[in-house]
Homo-oligomer: A and B are copies of this chain.
Amino acid sequence: MPKSIPRTYSRYSRDAVELIGALIREARTERKLTARELADRAGISRGMLQRIEKGHPKCEIGAVFEAAAIVGIQLFEADDRALAQHLRHTREKLALLPKSVRRTSKPVHDEF
């Protein structure tokens, strides 16, 4: 791991991460929670919550989702049950797909 070129992100990814952060901050403020309170509840440091709310792309996704969930932000617009079901369904569908993708000589032409 000699050099470590800083990772680059597409605009879409950057916007998405930043949006989540902004939504968390918005929800936290509306619910009158201090940064410390939310951080404690989420089991993360205040500094990390700062980065999350700022939309830093290198934060643990688990920590981000945890903070989001606490202030009531639904990913996938689905509650607990719906999310779990979606997950089960996706797992099943995944079981039916090929286990590995075979790259056969010429790359397929796709839909272009």
Footprint of B on A, CB under 8 Å?
Answer: 7-20, 22-23, 25-26, 28-35, 37, 43-44, 57-66, 69, 75-77, 80, 83-84, 86-87, 90-91, 93-94, 97-98, 100-101, 103, 108, 110
| Chain B hits for A18, CB < 8 A | 87
| Chain B hits for A29, CB < 8 A | 94, 97-98, 101
Chain A facing B: main interface SS: helix
Closest 3 CB pairs of A and B: A57-B62, A61-B61, A13-B65
Q: Report whether A60 and B57 are in contact in the complex, using a CB–CB cutoff of 8 Å.
A: yes
| Least distance between A99 CB and chain B CB atoms (Å) | 9
Q: Report whether A30 and B97 are in contact in the complex, using a CB–CB cutoff of 8 Å.
A: yes
